[in-house]
Amino acid sequence: MNPSEDSLRYPIGRPTLPTAPLGPSGRVPYLQQLADLPAQLAAAAQAVGGVRLEQPYRPGGWSGRQLIHHLADSHMNCYFRYRLALTEDNPTIRPYDEKAWAELPDVAATPVTMSLALLGALHTRWLVLLHHLDEAQWQRTFYHPFYQTTSTLEQALVQYAWHGRHHLAHLELLLPRG
């Protein structure tokens, strides 16, 4: 991948996950990023506009519509992963084919406003859960069989805060320039 392709694919860079516990103060910026994402995404979608949302943000990339629906799908999956990790001992989560999900007929047929509303409600509920976790719960884990990795809930927080900003930056690539 050449540098310009990499900057389009990873406009905010690749994620860096913590290897040591962050603690309460270290989690604050990531929790805030999750809290801010739904409104930022809605504002960006409105600024991009309907026609541009049908365009890919890069050659071979998803359309703005697919990005928004993907964020709802992905963050719902992560919320369920948290709930599994909090109620089971290092559960193996179920991966899904995000590319195939982006091609399902509901993605083309559902207004992006539905996924934006879903993300707003989901993030509100997710954040209530996150703000009630104790230090031991933040270190609970789940196993991802596709990547063959075990993640703490704290690492997942960092990953999904990055994930939201990553796709928000993709959507912003569709903004009219001028």
Report whether 63 contacts 54 (CB < 8 A): yes
pLDDT class of 2 with cuts at 50, 70, 90: low
Element (H, E) at 149: strand 149-152
Single out the residue of 35, 6, 10 nearest to residue 170, CA to CA: 10
Domains of the chain, by residue range, sit at 27-172
pLDDT class of 4 with cuts at 50, 70, 90: confident
pLDDT for 177 = 81
**pLDDT tens by residue, 96-146:** 999 999 999 999 999 999 999 999 999 999 999 999 999 999 999 999 999
**pLDDT tens by residue, 30-80:** 999 999 999 999 999 999 998 999 999 999 999 999 999 999 999 999 999
Single out the residue of 154, 78, 171, 167 nearest to residue 122, CA to CA: 78
pLDDT for 3 = 55
For 27-172, which CATH superfamily applies? dinb family like domain (1.20.120.450)
